[in-house]
Structure 1
């Protein structure tokens, strides 16, 4: 997802210096991440970016901070879509949130993107609950080799298995929310298997672009 050619619209990147997977996800004290993230967001705004997004779903922790710091729309996490999805599927069904590591997705992350902790959702940890070795080699600092690598076909099998087991465990799931940006490439394969609406970082970015650069309408109106 770091490749801008994966999107059908212009992408500008900036790096939040000093923020990595360990400091953002694993560390309990996330205070050191705050200012570098705000600085990166401001640089993007100053470049002329019309909307700001972040690559990892755990940036949800800083949604309110960044939205208050810049004057353009902010989409820090795919999890922003959860309250919206809940309205789409109704109160009798639940949103199935598939995240990288369940143990690190705290109530603060959820509340900062508007998720009611007592509402209709379930959470599955792809790595720490169901097992996803291909993701471990990329994002688990305890298991990541010196030269990390991951195989697409194996990752796809893992993601299909995880989501299939997840919806079997919770039959009331009416839609899947893929928290991790690394899960997005497998969304179509997952959907073919479980036949449910799939939301991801990609659907969030598509929405973000549509609201800051609305399309024209042609023909008879």
Structure 2
């Protein structure tokens, strides 16, 4: 008897590697942790996609992400996401390669979120690296809406440096909380109109509750988007 693949959320990951027996991705609220969404999760490494090349949208990496997405579907993925928000730059090519819903980045939420806020309000996008974050990631064509988006990054932080290592070490959650907290505090000092926060980085959800408590603002991330996908198909 042939066993049928178990319905799961498929997660694309880069070929960054990690330490042996690492618990990366098992932290509470991590996208790779099945307990985060209460739904089975499977992952596939996109071969040749070193993490440091992914943020730039290198076209050479497209094949690796497409083939990994197709393997996920073969293994039973009923929807596909990723563990890197910069994969918004591969959204179209991956979505065209499979027949299940694909949402590779929380940035897909931005057009909806900005329309939920009053015209006087701004939304803060917190990114892993603002130096490689461009307007092409915002999914906004209206200049007025673009003017309401404030982008801040944690480049140069401990987490930023750790993610560039091969293999990448376990996530230092305390350091991430401090760096993300400092980033949003600085942004709000300059832009008191900020009324909501969107995490570009798919690693940031592990500190979402802490940032909600710090700011008293709504915080959205890749898990927000994945919950919507799962709810719509189960």
Structures share a fold, TM > 0.5?
Answer: yes
Equivalent residue, structure 1, for 2:190: 169
SS at match of 1:176: strand
Aligned counterpart, 1:156: 177
CA RMSD of aligned residues (A): 2.0
Q: Which has the higher contact order (CA 8 A, sep 6+)?
A: 2
Which residue in 2 is equivalent to 1:34?
62
**Contact 2:46/2:65 (CA < 8 Å) preserved in 1?**
yes
> How far off is 1:147 after superposition?
6.9
Contact persistence 2:154–2:160 (CA under 8 A): no
> Matches of 1:149 and 1:46 in 2, distance apart?
29
1:62 aligns to what? 90
CA distance in 2, matches of 1:17, 1:145: 14
Shift of 1:206: 1.3
What is the CA distance between 1:21 and its match in structure 2?
Answer: 0.9
Which residue is 2:140 aligned to?
Answer: 115
CA distance in 1, matches of 2:201, 2:89: 14
For the structure 1 residues 53 and 194, does the alpha-carbon distance in structure 2 shift closer, same or farther, using more than 3 Å as the test?
same
Unaligned runs of 5+ in 2: 1-29
Per the normalisation by structure 2, the TM-score is: 0.79
Q: Hey, what's the Cα distance between the residues in 1 that align with 2:36 and 2:124?
A: 25
Greater per-residue strand proportion: 2
> 1:168-218 CA distances to partner (integer Å, 9 max, x unpaired)?
2111111000111111111111111111110011111111111111xxxxx
Structure 1 distance, partners of 2:67, 2:166, is 31
CA distance in 2, matches of 1:50, 1:145: 31
CA deviation string 1:4-33 (max 9, x = no partner):
3443111111111111211212xx561111
Gaps of 5+ in 1: 214-221
Say which SS state the counterpart of residue 187 (structure 1) adopts. Answer: helix
Shift of 1:3: 3.5
| Bigger fraction of residues in helix | 1
Give the deviation of 1:69 after TM superposition: 1.7
